[in-house]
Amino acid sequence: MIDLLGVDWFQTVCWATVVQPTSNELSELQNLFGLQQLTLESRNPDIYMRIGEISTLRELSLLGSEYDSPRITHDLSFLKKFRRLESLELRGIDVLSFSPITGSGSLRQLDLINCTYSKSQLDDLATQTPNLDIKEIFK
């Protein structure tokens, strides 16, 4: 692709969608220094842990298995590494804890689509992160 489009085109990538990536493909994303928005679909929870290395992200969408079993379960601990993340979408994910994003100064939008989680933990998140707009969507 670089031979066809040129190295400059890849240096300015700011948005990417990756479906069922390998660890090598995620490593390549780390080299996209302008990457600000990422949509990632994977049924492998280990893959999600690897995206914490992409420090430039401002928007992140994590797409688990909304209707299929088994569903992806996360404690979201990998999100602690994101200092500039403003928007987070979780779709089809079982969330164990919101504590890694509780009190986040940069996070402004959280969309929970067909996710399962503890209502009390979500209430704690809303209380401790007052500038966070939380949308819950169940289809």
pLDDT recorded at residue 109: 97
**pLDDT band at residue 53, thresholds of 50, 70 and 90?**
confident
The mean per-residue pLDDT over the stretch 109-114 comes to 96
Predicted confidence band at 118 (pLDDT cuts at 50, 70, 90)?
A: very high
Other CB atoms within a 10 A radius of the CB of residue 12 amount to 10
The pLDDT of residue 4: 65
Instruction: Measure the CA–CA gap between 96 and 115, rounded to whole angstroms.
Output: 11
Q: Is the pLDDT of residue 44 over 70?
A: yes
Q: What pTM does this model have?
A: 0.85
